[in-house]
Copies of this chain bind each other. A is one copy, B any other.
Amino acid sequence: MSDTLTNQKAYRAINFAEKLALFDDQWQARVVAEMNDYQFKVVRIEGDFVWHQHADTDETFIVLDGQLRIDMRDGFVTLSAGEMFVVPKGTEHKPFAEREVKLLLVEPRGVRNTGEETSERTAVNDLWI
């Protein structure tokens, strides 16, 4: 894409809603951008995830649409659109959504969604959209 008069490129922004509209399966996050060695991923989830932890990294949840609950062993947090929460590394947690929620996740490249666990929820890594 270029403007022939000025030879300026029109770069494209990453639109979360547009990216989410490209798929409708749940639990499989898609990478939409990278910053250094971190990835931004969009995902649809509904129902219960598995208890897990990430020993080496914090994990960031940003709600784009809907409502998310994250249970931890000593408490919980509820997140709506326009809200975020960082689960500290080594903290066992279990995301839950009564109805489908659309999330933006931020975490280092290569992190497995179910942490040390393997389950039916374990997703393909590094899947771009």
Which residues does A use to contact B, with CB under 8 Å?
Answer: 2, 8-17, 32-36, 38, 40, 57-60, 64, 70, 72, 74-80, 82-86, 89, 106-108
Contact = CB atoms under 8 A, between A and B. Distances in A.
How many copies of the polypeptide does the oligomer hold? 2
Contact of A106 (B35, B58, B78): B35
Contact of A76 (B8, B80, B86, B107): B8
15 contacts: A9-B74, A10-B75, A11-B70, A11-B72, A11-B77, A14-B83, A14-B85, A33-B86, A35-B59, A35-B107, A36-B57, A36-B58, A36-B89, A36-B108, A38-B38
Nearest to A77: B11
A86 B13 contact: no
A11 B85 contact: yes
B77 A10 contact: yes
Contacts of A36: 57-58, 89, 108
Overall SS of chain A's interface:
strand
A86 B35 contact: yes
A33 B84 contact: yes
Contact of A75 (B11, B33, B58, B78): B11
Most B CB contacts (10 A, CB to CB) among A13, A16, A34, A58 go to A13
